[in-house]
Amino acid sequence: MVRRCCFLPLVVLACNLTICTSWAFSISSILSKELFHSIFLHKDDAACPAKDFFTYESFVQASRCFPSFGNTGNLATRKREIAAFLAQISHETTGGWATAPDGPYAWGLCFKEEVSPQSDYCDSTNTRWPCSPGKSYKGRGPIQLSWNYNYGPAGRALGFDGLHNPEIVSNNSVISWKTALWFWMTEQKPKPSCHNVIIGRYLPTKQDVAANRTVGFGLLTNIINGGLECGIPTDARVYDRIGYFQRYANIFSVDTGPNLDCQYQKPF
């Protein structure tokens, strides 16, 4: 579940203009269609509610709005970022279980929206991004965008009405991918962006140091869902994310780096 965000002017520029479809860099130079489908072996199984929704073509199209994603630093850094992103979205959308065919980490992108949400995720105290009556801001998309204060700025940045039409995140494949990439690339003060953490641009504050928020994959988990998963010894959700990351890092032939979990980190 993602938490409070803001939008970046550069992201707005890239995503609201048609130029976003014509960047020279393509994620396909690292992640081919064949590799994508070998990673997500079961995403289009009949049992998966997201069957045929999270297409490779939509991902490539969406990624062109974020030219720094998977395109910053040396080749190992670029591969590690893609592996980390795929790991986090795989956990958020997994349909796997311990004894699943091909293992529990072959079942990412099975779900496109939260199952049995406990609320409509409307923060009525947030007057900047007021909820639309009757709308649910439950988790949707690869990174399970949640809450009105995320749907509002995501829609503003990406060019859709997130408050009045949140359903589009689970109805339009390109927009769905864009919301996940937007969250990944966007700084959420006091949180850094996942992108800056994984490429080595994260500069911890005194508060971060005191909270043991160290650089690594665990900090990405803290950014995405730290309030529910971090500061908890051996949380199963955290280790599911790590399992995906280890699989994908191996596929891309890069190391995972240190600090994979967030069990000793305080949430933001």
Amino acid at 70: G
Domains of the chain in start order, with CATH, are 9-110+175-252 (1.10.530.10)
- pTM, whole model, 2 decimals? 0.92
Please identify every residue annotated as catalytic.
92
Q: Across residues 162-173, what is the average pLDDT? A: 98
Q: Tens of pLDDT along 71-110? A: 999 999 999 999 999 999 999 999 999 999 999 999 999 9
Sequence-distant (≥ 6) Cβ neighbours of residue 121 within 8 angstroms: 136, 137, 138, 139, 146, 147, 148
